[in-house]
Structure 1
Amino acid sequence: MTVLRSTHQLHLGDDVVTKRFTSWGRGEALREWRGLTLLHRFAPGIAPAPLAAALDAEPPEVSMSRIDGTPLRGTVVSRPALRALARTLSAVHRAVPGQALAAIPTGAWHARRVDTHVRSRLARRPDGPWEPVVREALAAGERWLARARLETVSGADAVHPVFGLTDGNIANYLYGGARVRLLDFEDAGRSDRAFELAEISSHLSTWVDSTFDVDFFLGLCPLTEAESARIEHLRRLNALLWLGNLLSDHGTPRRNPPGTAARQAERLLALL
C-alpha cells in the first residue's frame, strides 16, 4: 500500500483506492461521491467505480476502484491522447440527463465565480517588483476587463449545461493507450461545456510541465459559434486568474519553476 499526501491522502491498494480528506468544509467528499456515482450510473467505466463512503466521519473518506492509466500531466500529450480526451469529455458531457443534472449543485468553480474573483483581485492588487512583461500583462488585462462582460457570452446558445470536474488540471485525466478516464471529483458539479473546455485549455498544467496542443484539442470538440466565443472569453479570464495566483502570497510560485509568472504573462498577452 502506498500513501500519497496533498489536500487529501490516498491509500492505494491493489484494487481499491481510499481517498481520505484533510479538508472538507466545501463539501469535497460529498462532491467526490456524487461525481463517482453519477458517472457510474450514466457513463460506467469512464471513472473509478464508487465502493464505499463515510461522508459524516472526521475526516470523511471515499473508497473507489483502482483504474489504470498514466496522467496526462508531465507528458508530451500526443494527438491520439488528445483525441481520446476529446472523446471522453464528449461522452461525459452527453451522459448525465437534464433532470439528474438539474438536481445537483453547481461545481465549486464556475464562470461567475472566476469573473468575480478576478475583478476583486485586480481591484486590490498590491504593487510588486514584477517583471516588465508582467506589468504589461496586468495593465492589458485590466483594460480588457473594463470593457468585457460575462453576460455577453452567457446566452442560451453559449451555455450548454453538463456535468464537469470544474478543474482543468490534466493530472486528473489518465490515458491508457485507447481511452482517457477521469479522476478527482471534489470540485465537480453542474457546469457548462464551454467552461469545462476553457478550464483545461487555460490550466497551468498544460504547459508548465507538459506539452498540450490546445488549438488541436479544441478543434476536436464540436462547438457552436456562441460556445467558441465563450471559450475565448473564459480563457482570458482564467489566464488572468492564473497570473494573479502566481503573483499572490498563497505559495503557488514556490510550486512552479522560476519565470512561470512571466511566461503566464506572455500567454495572457497573446490571448488578449
Structure 2
Amino acid sequence: MTHTISVSGPVLTKQYTSWSRNEPAREWAALTLLSEAIPDLVPHPISRTPAPSLTMTTLPGHPLAAPLHPPHLTALGDAIETLWSIPSDTLQRIDLAALVERTRTGLITLQDGDGVIARAASAWLNSEPADLTAVHEPVVAHGDPNLANYLWDGTRVRIVDFEDAGQGDRAVELANLVEHLSGRGTDWTPLVRRFAPDPDRFHAARRLWAGFWLTLIAPGGPSAHRNPPGTAEAQAGRVLTLVAGGPRGVPGRPGCRSE
C-alpha cells in the first residue's frame, strides 16, 4: 500500500507511506485540473502537506464490482467520456516505456519455469506487442482502473484515486480497464464499441496489460499472495488466448473467470 486513508465527515485525508512514482504530486495535479472542469465527477482537493498528505472531499456512492451490468457500463462509459473530454496537456505523461520494460523483465523470469505460466510468458516474449510508447490520442489517464475506484450511486459513476494519473493514450487506457483483474466476468463489448479504439492498437495494449498482470500475480510476484490458487494460471490462459487471437475478438471474454 502506498497510503492510508482517514475520513472525517465530508473530508478524506490520504497520508502517503511511499511515493516512488511521485504519487502525491500526480494526484494533486489531476484533482486540481479535473475538479475545476468537472467538479461533480472527482473529489475536490483541499490541501496538501510536505509529509506528504492530501485532503479532499468525499464522494457519494459504493464501489463497482464485477460483473458489471448494462446500467453500470453505461454510467461508467459516461464518466470516462467526461474524464477524457478534459485536455491533459498539463499532466505528467504516463511512462509507457517503463511499463513495457517492467513487463518484459518479469516475463523473462517467468519463462524459465514450468507449466502454463512459463508457456504464456514465452508466447508473449516471442510475439511482443507493437510499440505503444508514442501517445496517439492523449487523454487524462486515471492510471488505476480497479473497479473499487469507480463509485456508483444508483444513477451515475464518480471516480476516485488519482495517484497514478497523468497524460495517457486513449486505447492503452481503455485496455487497462478491460484487462484489470477486478473486472473479470464482465462483458466489455458495449463499452469498447462505444469508444471504438483502433483494433490493432487496442489488441496490442490488451496483450501488454495481460502480460503485466501475469508478472504481478504469478508465483514470486508482488501480488501473488493476494489472490486465490489458480488465479495466475487463469491469467496465463488469458495471455495465451490474446497472443493467439486477432484484434477483433470479443473484449473481456477470453480466459474470463472470477479473480
TM-score interval, smaller chain:
0.7 to 0.9
CA contact (8 A) 2:13 2:53 kept: yes
TM-score by length of 1: 0.82
Partner in structure 1 of residue 63 of structure 2: 71
CA contact (8 A) 1:83 1:220 kept: no
Cα deviation code 1:48-85 (max 9, x no counterpart): 1111111x2x2x11111111111113x43111111111
Query: What value does the CA root-mean-square deviation take over the aligned residues?
Result: 2.0
Select the residue among 121, 131, 135 that pairs with 1:150.
131
Select the residue among 108, 112, 123 that pairs with 2:97.
112
**1:179 equivalenced with 2:166 (yes/no):** no
Partner in structure 2 of residue 167 of structure 1: 144
Q: Percent identity?
A: 34
Cα deviation code 1:119-166 (max 9, x no counterpart): 2333344633x4x32233222212211xx4316x95xxx711111112
Select the residue among 146, 166, 178 that pairs with 1:189.
166
**1:233 equivalenced with 2:204 (yes/no):** yes
TM-score by length of 2: 0.86
CA contact (8 A) 1:10 1:18 kept: yes
Query: Could you tell me how far apart the structure 1 residues matched to 2:236 and 2:5 are?
Result: 34
SS of residue paired to 1:26:
coil
Give the drift of 1:112: 2.4
CA contact (8 A) 2:6 2:13 kept: yes
State the one-letter code of the partner of 2:74.
R
Select the residue among 13, 16, 19 that pairs with 2:8.
13
Query: Could you tell me how far apart the structure 2 residues matched to 1:254 and 1:39 are?
Result: 35
Query: Could you tell me how far apart the structure 2 residues matched to 1:103 and 1:65 are?
Result: 22
Unaligned runs of 5+ in 1: 1-5
Tell me: CA distance 1:186–1:68, structure 2 relative to 1, closer, same or farther (3 Å): same
CA contact (8 A) 1:46 1:181 kept: yes
Cα deviation code 1:205-242 (max 9, x no counterpart): 112xxx3222232122243xxx3321110100111111
Query: Could you tell me how far apart the structure 2 residues matched to 1:68 and 1:165 are?
Result: 19
* Equivalences, count: 243
Query: Could you tell me how far apart the structure 1 residues matched to 2:176 and 2:207 are?
Result: 11
CA contact (8 A) 1:111 1:234 kept: no
Unaligned runs of 5+ in 2: 244-259
Query: Could you tell me how far apart the structure 2 residues matched to 1:243 and 1:125 are?
Result: 9
Partner in structure 2 of residue 212 of structure 1: 186
